[in-house]
Amino acid sequence: MADHQRTADRTRPAAGDGDYPAWLLRAALGIPSVSGRELPVARFLADRMAELGLDSYVDEVGNVHGLIGPRTGPTVMLLGHIDTVPGQVPVVQVGDLLYGRGAVDAKGSIVTMICAAARTEGVRVHVIGAVGEEVAGSRGAHHVLATVPPPAALVIGEPSGWDGVCLGYKGRIGIGYEISRPPLHTSSPEPTAVECAARFAHDIQEYLRGLSPEQDDPVAFGVAAATLVRLHGDLAEAEAFLSCRVPPGFDFAALERFARSRPHSRIRVDERVPGVTRPRTDPVVSQLRAAIAAQGVRPTLKRKAGTSDMNTLAPWGIPMAAYGPGDAHLDHTTDEHIPLGDLYRAIDVLALALPRLASRLAAPPRTTGAPELLEA
What single-letter amino acid sits at 11?
T
- CA 85 remoteness from chain centre: 12
Residue 128 β-bridge partners: 65, 79
Q: Which residue among 3, 38, 47, 83 is the active-site one?
A: 83
The pair phi, psi for residue 69, each rounded to 5°, is 100, 170
Q: How far is CA 310 from CA 138, 230, 295, 333, in A?
A: 10, 27, 26, 22
- Name the strand (E) or helix (H) holding 270: strand 265-273
CA distance linking residue 220 with residue 150, whole number of Å: 31
> Distance between CA atoms of 112 and 7, rounded to whole angstroms?
22
Question: According to DSSP H, which parts of the chain are helical?
Answer: 3-11, 20-29, 39-51, 108-119, 139-147, 193-211, 252-260, 283-293, 309-313, 340-362
Question: How many Cα neighbours within 13 Å face the side chain of 39?
Answer: 5
Would residue 83 show up in a list of annotated catalytic residues for this protein? Answer: yes
Per-residue DSSP letter, 315:
G
Q: Rounded to an integer, what distance in angstroms lies between the CA atom of residue 173 and that of residue 189?
A: 33
User: Measured between alpha carbons, how far is 68 from 358 in angstroms, rounded to an integer?
Assistant: 14
Reduced DSSP (H G I as helix, E B as strand, rest coil) percent helix, strand, coil of the chain, to 5: 35, 25, 40
- Residue 325 CB partners (closer than 8 Å, separation 6+): 108, 109, 112, 159, 161, 162, 338, 339, 342, 343, 345, 346
Say which amino acid occupies 245: R
Residues 38, 105, 133, 309: which is the catalytic one?
A: 133
Instruction: Respond yes or no: is residue 342 known to be catalytic.
Output: no
Sign of CA dihedral 346, 347, 348, 352: positive
Q: Pairing state of beta strands 164-169 and 276-277?
A: antiparallel
Helix (H, G, I), strand (E, B) or coil at 168: strand
CA diameter of the chain: 77
Active site (catalytic) residues: 83, 133
